[in-house]
Chains A and B, each alone.
Chain A
Amino acid sequence: MKTFFDNPARIRFVVFFALCIILCIFSLIAPMLVPNDPGKADLANALIPPSQDYPFGTDQLGRCLYSRVMTGAATSIFSAFILVGVIFTIGTFIGVLSGYYGGKIDTFFMRIVDVLLAFPGMVLAIAVAGMLGSGIVNAVIAIALISWTKYARLSRSLVLSIKEENFIHAARLGGASSLKIVARHVIPNSIGPLVVAASLDIGAMMMQLAGLSFLGLGAVPPAPEWGLMLNEGRSMLQNAPWLLIYPGSAMFMTVAIFNLFGDSVRDILDPKFQKSIIKTTGGIKNA
């Protein structure tokens, strides 16, 4: 195992991966750990500053902010995971299809992509979410509809460069069907940059979802969701800054951890780094 941790990029990856896992586990068990019921309104105790009973204070309806921030973590993290999973799968599927088969399929999908890219993304998401109505599922659908294009374009360009490689020709000569070539050779060889894009996207998608919720198009009250909580606390900034500080910091920390995780994934999947692995394991071409 000594060689594995020789490279600082790998250490970073392990650390941030562990942090992400801890965050996910924590968000799942948070509802069992919180001191108060996150949904229970108690107007007698509204807008109490952080204290012993309420570590993060209470909001306008007297709900425990600490409990709400903690239970809200799962919504933000897992809806971002689902969103990235959906756009990654759909985008890659469409990109591989149009890159590999080309022709009319390619033209069809790429013109759709062009059209979608011609709109400012968030505005389009707002329009779609507005039509679908609010709700976290609808917010995921709205953002997914505009964000798959990135993966489609990336995977298409990767497939275009790989499909003219000799080993694809050799696989075809070896009697492999198109489906087999795509599944066994094209996708495994192009998945690296896509995984990097996906891991870098988790944080960004979390922000977008929170953004929609902040605008009232995502999570519906009384759900504890960070973007929504920021919106609810917005008018109280001067009297009760804790309403913004705590959900905001939670958001900031989570997004930062996932972004750093994304960066570390990029570092270890970087082609330059992979070459150095080949060298250290002594597998240099000695032709």
Chain B
Amino acid sequence: MRAILELKGVEKTFDNNRKESFRIKSLDLRIMPGETFGLVGESGSGKSTIAKLSTRLVRPDEGKILIDGKDIAPARGKKLKEAYGKVQMIFQDSYSSFDDRMKVGASISETIKNFQGYKKSDCAKEVDRLLERVGLKKSHLHRYPYELSGGECQRAAIARALAAKPKLLICDEATSALDVSVQHRIIRLLKKLRKEVGLGIFFISHDLALVSSFCDRLGVMKDGVMVETGSCDEIMADPKHPYTKELMEASLFINEI
């Protein structure tokens, strides 16, 4: 079976000032269609960079980024758009991912128009359908992003990502800025989507407990290196790398409090 997203020997160095350069070293990653893959690691470990590399918002220095078997590292224009029809992404700060000058409905229908080429009336129907799917009301369509709550805005972002009918949704710390109850509802929504449309999810978070609760496989990152990968149960039962142990202890410790 062909992986939906595969990173092969990807390297990326940020050299903003000479003292501190940040580096992703020769990273490999495979995500199969319909799979839920969780990536955990501390701040600055390169999780978000992986997300941005996977959607080619950041260009890698070395290596291949295969989406459904096609390398997008050198791709531009149409080829990149084709890849975005398969892999979509939502951001930590959902407010900043919407143009403040456009109503939420307009942002969503822009994506629909770009990918599906629907006419205006079909487009409106599709927007309604997507909003219902993510649990938003029709009235949310005519609001500006800053008029929505954090959870609603993240739902709208998910609706926009779904408009491209992707096979994989990358969630870059998508629930980290939300409070716990809202976080749970978003996770429930993601689970529902996984079941209903067979959506693959690449879930990036610093919260090991959360990730382990609903992911099939798990990757642990530290300082730009994937230190451990494996099935979720395996890693939780028997962590190999000391950093994974440390992470687990930390999350257990918080749960005990």
What's the interface size class on B, roughly? 35 or more
What's the interface size class on A, roughly? 20 to 34
Evaluate contact between A172 and B57: CB separation under 8 angstroms.
yes
B119 on interface, CB distance cutoff 8 Å = no
A257 to B150, CA, bound (A): 45
Return the CB mask of A267-287 against B: 1 if under 8 Å, else 0. Answer: 000000000001000011111
Interface stretch, picked from A118-126, A139-147, A162-170, A230-238, is: A162-170
Evaluate contact between B101 and A189: CB separation under 8 angstroms.
yes
Evaluate contact between B77 and A177: CB separation under 8 angstroms.
yes
B153's nearest neighbour on chain A, judged by CB, is A287
B57's nearest neighbour on chain A, judged by CB, is A169
Return the CB mask of B94-107 against A: 1 if under 8 Å, else 0. Answer: 01111111000001
B115 on interface, CB distance cutoff 8 Å = yes
A115 on interface, CB distance cutoff 8 Å = no
Given A285-B146, A286-B149, answer yes or no on A176-B97 (Cβ-Cβ < 8 Å).
no
A-B contact count (CB 8 A): 76
Evaluate contact between B101 and A188: CB separation under 8 angstroms.
yes
- CB neighbors of A among B144-167 (8 A): 144, 146-147, 149-150, 153, 157, 160-161, 163-164
- CB neighbors of B among A95-150 (8 A): none
Report the minimum CB–CB distance from A143 to chain B (whole Å).
33
Evaluate contact between A175 and B97: CB separation under 8 angstroms.
no
B224 on interface, CB distance cutoff 8 Å = no
| Residues of chain B lying within 8 A (CB to CB) of residue A188 | 99, 101
A82 on interface, CB distance cutoff 8 Å = no
B143's nearest neighbour on chain A, judged by CB, is A283
Which of the residues B85, B101, B160, B177 comes within 8 Å of A170, measured between beta carbons?
B160
B247 on interface, CB distance cutoff 8 Å = no
A198 to B31, CA, bound (A): 52
Evaluate contact between A174 and B114: CB separation under 8 angstroms.
yes
Evaluate contact between A175 and B111: CB separation under 8 angstroms.
yes
B249 on interface, CB distance cutoff 8 Å = no
Report the minimum CB–CB distance from A238 to chain B (whole Å).
59
A173 on interface, CB distance cutoff 8 Å = yes
B93 on interface, CB distance cutoff 8 Å = yes
- The 3 A-B residue pairs with the shortest CB-CB distance, nearest first, are A287-B150, A175-B114, A174-B111
